[in-house]
């Protein structure tokens, strides 16, 4: 059988390499190995927790819990689901969300369905860009350049659309003005008013997750979503990184748009929301 262990600093490189080998399934697990600017961490981040699963000394799985109480699991072996330690880890951290590949999440749900209430379930698709270099110039401004007072209504609308726990106006101002590599916001304007947004969510050595693409409800069906998707894809490719994004499977219009510009499905993910937040 196998055993779960809390990841040690001495195992940091081994765990990173394991997640890297299983990139599509461990895409979100990789976050804890990198700083906000995309550089590799030198040791474990105290704000995050990793567990590894071994069978006969061989690494066969990994669990990552971030500071936002999101738990990301991946296991190669079905034996991992038979271990009480897995349920103990989940119950100890009381995650608000569990996100992973469909096979992993389906197996975990069978373990927790009697002991932890499920408030929402989402089918997600991880996509990467496999098209040609996208041409065409897109005019944009960054979060540090927009007139916050003119943009605040749009920002509140976007925050309510994406967040289960929307930020206050002051928190939004700080967040949007953060121009570090891991948290870059981009905006499209129409007559000095913000009509669409997108952002770099995080990046690794060779990969970049883009997202947060949102168009004002009154400005939809005018190509702004496509322009922002192209812009973010160009940003990633200009840094020699492969662009990735994640989209809800039932959002057919977004999925079709990403297909149109050159994205393809990499991995089927699921997300369990276990807390009302």
Each residue's pLDDT tens digit, 20-59: 999 999 999 999 999 877 889 888 888 899 999 999 999 9
Separation of alpha carbons 6 and 204, rounded Å = 23
More confident: 247 or 151: 247
Structure tokens at 171: 């928190």
Q: Is the confidence at residue 218, as pLDDT, over 70?
A: yes
Q: Given pLDDT bands bounded at 50, 70 and 90, which one contains residue 276?
A: low
**pLDDT average, residue stretch 229-238:** 94
pLDDT at res. 96 = 94
Q: How confident is the model at residue 162 (pLDDT cuts 50, 70, 90)?
A: confident
Query: What local confidence, expressed as pLDDT, does residue 183 receive?
Result: 59
Side-chain half-sphere exposure of 196, counting CA atoms within 13 A: 23
Residue-wise pLDDT tens digits, 72-100: 999 999 999 999 999 999 999 999 999 99
As a whole number, the mean pLDDT across the chain is: 91
Output the pLDDT for position 204.
Answer: 94
- As a whole number, mean pLDDT of residues 56-74 equals 96
Question: pLDDT at position 225, please?
Answer: 93
Rounded to a whole number, what is the distance in angstroms from the first to the last CA of the chain?
37
Looking at residue 181, its pLDDT comes to 45
- Give pLDDT tens digits for 172-194: 888 887 755 445 889 999 888 89
Q: Is the pLDDT of residue 215 over 80?
A: yes
In order of start, what are the domains of the chain with their CATH numbers? 2-126 (3.40.630), 141-261 (3.40.630.30)
Question: Which whole number is the average pLDDT over 112-123?
Answer: 93
Give the percent of the chain with pLDDT over 70.
97
């Amino acid at each position: 059988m196998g055993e779960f262990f809390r990841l040690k600093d001495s195992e940091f490189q081994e765990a990173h390499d394991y997640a890297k080998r299983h990139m599509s399934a461990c895409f979100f697990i990789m976050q804890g190995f990198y700083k906000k600017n995309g550089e590799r961490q030198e040791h474990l981040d105290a704000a995050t927790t990793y567990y590894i699963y071994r069978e006969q000394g061989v690494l066969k799985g990994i669990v990552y819990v971030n500071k936002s109480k999101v738990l990301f699991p991946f296991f190669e072996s079905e034996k991992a689901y038979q271990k009480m330690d897995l349920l103990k880890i989940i119950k100890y951290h009381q995650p608000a969300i569990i996100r992973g590949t469909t096979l992993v999440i389906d197996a975990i749900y069978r373990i927790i369905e009697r002991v932890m209430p499920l408030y929402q379930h989402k089918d997600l698709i991880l996509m990467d860009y496999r098209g040609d270099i996208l041409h065409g110039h897109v005019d944009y401004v960054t979060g540090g350049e927009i007139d916050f007072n003119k943009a605040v209504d749009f920002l509140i609308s976007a925050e309510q659309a994406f967040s289960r726990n929307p930020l206050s106006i002051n928190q939004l101002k700080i967040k949007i003005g953060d121009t570090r590599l891991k948290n870059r916001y981009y905006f499209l304007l129409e007559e000095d008013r913000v009509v669409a947004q997108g952002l770099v969510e995080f990046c690794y050595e060779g990969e970049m997750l883009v997202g947060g693409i949102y168009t004002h409800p009154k400005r939809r069906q005018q190509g702004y979503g496509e322009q922002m998707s192209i812009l973010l894809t160009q940003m990633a490719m200009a840094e020699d990184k492969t662009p990735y994004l994640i989209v809800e499977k039932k959002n057919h219009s977004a999925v079709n748009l990403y297909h149109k510009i050159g994205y393809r499905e990499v991995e089927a993910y699921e997300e369990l929301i276990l807390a009302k937040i």
